C-alpha cells in the first residue's frame, strides 16, 4: 500500500506549489514586519530627541539670547515679525551653530541688510549671532532648530 502511494505522482505539483507559495508569503511578511519595526524605532528616537531638544528665546529691551534646554540643538532659522506685520527670516543652516545643553548664545542686531530673496543677512558662530536688522522694528522673534522645534 505504501509502495502504491509513493508511485502515484498525481497532485505532487500542487503540493510543491502550495509549499513554495507559503514560503514566499512568510518571506514577504517577515520583511514587512522588520521594515515596520525599524521605522517605528526610528520615529520613537526622533520623538525622544524632539522632547529633549527644548530651547528658550529671551527678547527684552532690544537684546536677545537663545538658551538650549535639555539636550544640544542645531539652529536652523530665525523668524521675525516686524512692527509693520512683515514676516522675515534669516537662515542659519550654513553656519552650523550647535548649542550645547544649558549654554546661551547672544543675538546682536545691526542695520537692515536684506538679501536678494528678501531674507535677512545673518552671521553666526559659537560666540554669537549677528542679525542685520534693527531690534526696534521687531515685534516677535522665533527660532527654529533642525528638528523642527519652534520657540
Asked whether the predicted pLDDT for residue 14 surpasses 90, the reply is no
Q: How many angstroms separate the CA atoms of 14 and 94, rounded?
A: 63
Tell me phi and psi for residue 44, to 5 degrees: -65, -40
What's the chain's average pLDDT?
82
Asked whether the predicted pLDDT for residue 28 surpasses 90, the reply is yes
pLDDT by residue (tens digit) across 80-136?
888 888 888 888 877 777 888 788 888 888 887 777 777 788 887 767 888 888 878
pLDDT by residue (tens digit) across 39-64?
999 988 877 777 766 788 887 777 78
Is residue 114 a contact partner of residue 134, using CB atoms and an 8 Å limit? no
Asked whether the predicted pLDDT for residue 5 surpasses 70, the reply is no
Top-confidence residue, 44 or 28: 28
DSSP for 106-129? EEEE-S--B-TTSPBPEEEETTEE
The candidate with the shortest Cα–Cα distance to 71, out of 57, 50, 41, is 50
Residue 106's DSSP bridge partners are 65
The candidate with the shortest Cα–Cα distance to 96, out of 118, 119, 126, 67, is 126
Residue 78's DSSP bridge partners are 90, 143
What confidence score (pLDDT) does residue 151 get? 66
What confidence score (pLDDT) does residue 109 get? 83
Output the nine-digit C-alpha cell for 94. 550654513
Amino acid at each position: 500500500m505504501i509502495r502504491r502511494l509513493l508511485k502515484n505522482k498525481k497532485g505532487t505539483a500542487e503540493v510543491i506549489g502550495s509549499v513554495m507559495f507559503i514560503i514566499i508569503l512568510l518571506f514577504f511578511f517577515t520583511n514587512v514586519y522588520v521594515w515596520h519595526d525599524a521605522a517605528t524605532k526610528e520615529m520613537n528616537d526622533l520623538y525622544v530627541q524632539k522632547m529633549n531638544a527644548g530651547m528658550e528665546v529671551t527678547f527684552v529691551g532690544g537684546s536677545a539670547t537663545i538658551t538650549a534646554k535639555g539636550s544640544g540643538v542645531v539652529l536652523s532659522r530665525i523668524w521675525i515679525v516686524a512692527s509693520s506685520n512683515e514676516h522675515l527670516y534669516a537662515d542659519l543652516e550654513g553656519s552650523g551653530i550647535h548649542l550645547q545643553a544649558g549654554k546661551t548664545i547672544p543675538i546682536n542686531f545691526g542695520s537692515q541688510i536684506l538679501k536678494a530673496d528678501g531674507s535677512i543677512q545673518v552671521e553666526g558662530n559659537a560666540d554669537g549671532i549677528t542679525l542685520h536688522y534693527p531690534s526696534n522694528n521687531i515685534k516677535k522673534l522665533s527660532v527654529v532648530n533642525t528638528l523642527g522645534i519652534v520657540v
